[in-house]
């Protein structure tokens, strides 16, 4: 697979959960921090998102917003003072039981309560809210570089595939048609891919309507920050990364990757290390272990098979490298994941 697909696939576990929030009048809802990633799609009306420690962000119908690090936040009909934010109602009070697909559209919200009491009168706002489960021990550094709030306004016209996914998702949720139990989670997965892609594709001339990527919510101007947008935009580094991700089991060397990229060994090492944060062989070793961890959790393949799939000649060689990085053996890692336990995180490449 390509780097972006691999980065998302490595960290994602299970299927996203979704639910619908339909409110009217004066309202505010508190969403606590989450050990995963959250998202909202505005299906009707508009609202404000107030992230913990960030600036308020105005959302309109058709907007999509991703909180890739599970940042706590408040959704509200209008910007709130600090005292009002602290009195926002837990979002669970306004939602039905979580599920893979929201139920039929509810009536105009009678349970939409705000800090000063509820009113069902006034403009209606409807959102699709959801969460992605993440396995942090396998987080790719590209995903770590995503901003706390990634916003794609409906006015953005440079990413038609993302806009199409939002429109399809909204149509499926509102219509509640046969097959929605499969369609909605699949579209939600597409939404994650397209939002990350939109962030990576932002250029130096990006304007304020491009996906927000600043340290504060709502900062949308300027290029995507971090090493990985630059790494994937560099023809030499991106070619070496593509080779590693296409065939991690191959007996790669720095010379082999340099030849694939069409440059000298020294040039590849210098550019790769500057943009990725570590030399090519160190990144290859880390990615092999990350793939091994994914295979241990998601397959029943014996260790010998997994070792071959990630470029190790024997289970012993894989076990030694795996234990050095994860602090546990492959067998214990697999057993802990099967039991739902959380292993100690180890650092990903910078």
* Residue-wise pLDDT tens digits, 280-330: 999 999 999 999 999 999 999 999 999 999 999 999 999 999 999 999 999
Coil, helix or strand at residue 88: coil
Burial 94-128 (b: 16+ CB within 10 A, else e): bbeeeebbbeeeeeebeebbbbeebbeeeeebbbb
Name which residue leads in pLDDT, 149 or 206. 149
Q: Does domain 3-200 have CATH number 3.40.50.2300?
A: no
Provide the pLDDT for residue 220. Answer: 39
d(CA 311, CA 326): 18
d(CA 63, CA 65): 7
Do residues 128 and 173 make contact, with C-beta atoms less than 8 angstroms apart? yes
Query: Which parts of the chain fold into alpha helices (H)?
Result: 3-11, 82-86, 141-144, 160-175, 180-200, 227-233, 235-246, 254-261, 265-276, 280-298, 303-309, 315-326, 330-338
Q: Does domain 234-338 have CATH number 3.40.1790.10?
A: no
What is the average pLDDT across 23-45?
91
d(CA 15, CA 146): 21
What is the average pLDDT across 189-210?
71
Token code pair at residue 253: 């060397």
pTM here is: 0.79
Do residues 272 and 283 make contact, with C-beta atoms less than 8 angstroms apart? yes
CA pseudo-torsion sign 326, 332, 334, 340: negative
Domain boundaries, the chain: 3-200, 234-338
Provide the pLDDT for residue 88. Answer: 86
């Amino acid at each position: 697979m390509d780097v972006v697909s691999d980065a998302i696939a490595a960290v994602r576990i299970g299927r996203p959960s979704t639910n619908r929030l339909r409110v009217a009048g004066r309202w505010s809802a508190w969403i606590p921090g989450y050990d995963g990633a959250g998202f909202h799609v505005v299906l009707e009306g508009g609202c404000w998102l107030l992230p913990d420690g960030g600036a308020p962000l105005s959302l309109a119908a058709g907007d999509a917003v991703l909180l890739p690090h599970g940042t706590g936040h408040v959704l509200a009909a209008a910007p709130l003072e600090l005292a009002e934010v602290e009195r926002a109602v837990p979002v669970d009070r306004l939602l039905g039981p979580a599920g893979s697909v929201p139920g039929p559209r509810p009536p105009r919200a009678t349970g939409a309560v705000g800090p000063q009491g509820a009113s069902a009168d006034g403009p209606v706002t409807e959102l699709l809210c959801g969460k992605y489960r993440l396995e942090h021990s396998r987080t790719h550094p590209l995903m770590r570089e995503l901003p706390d709030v990634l916003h794609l306004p409906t006015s953005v016209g440079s990413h038609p595939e993302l806009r199409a996914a939002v429109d399809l998702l909204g149509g499926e949720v509102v219509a509640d048609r046969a097959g929605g139990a499969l369609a909605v989670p699949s579209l939600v997965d597409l939404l994650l891919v397209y939002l990350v892609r939109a962030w990576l594709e932002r250029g130096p001339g990006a304007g304020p309507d491009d996906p927000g990527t600043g340290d504060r919510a709502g900062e949308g101007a300027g290029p995507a920050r971090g090493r990985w947008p630059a790494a994937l935009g560099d023809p030499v580094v991106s070619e070496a990364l593509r080779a590693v991700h296409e065939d991690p089991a191959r007996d790669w060397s720095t010379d082999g990757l340099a030849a694939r990229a069409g440059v000298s060994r020294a040039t590849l090492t210098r550019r790769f290390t500057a943009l990725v944060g570590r030399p090519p062989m160190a990144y290859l070793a880390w990615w092999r272990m990350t793939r091994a961890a994914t295979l241990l959790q998601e397959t029943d393949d014996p260790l010998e098979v997994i070792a071959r799939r990630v470029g190790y000649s024997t289970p012993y060689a894989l076990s030694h490298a795996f234990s050095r990085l994860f602090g546990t053996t492959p067998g214990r890692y697999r057993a802990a994941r099967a039991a739902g336990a959380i292993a100690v995180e180890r650092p990903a490449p910078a």
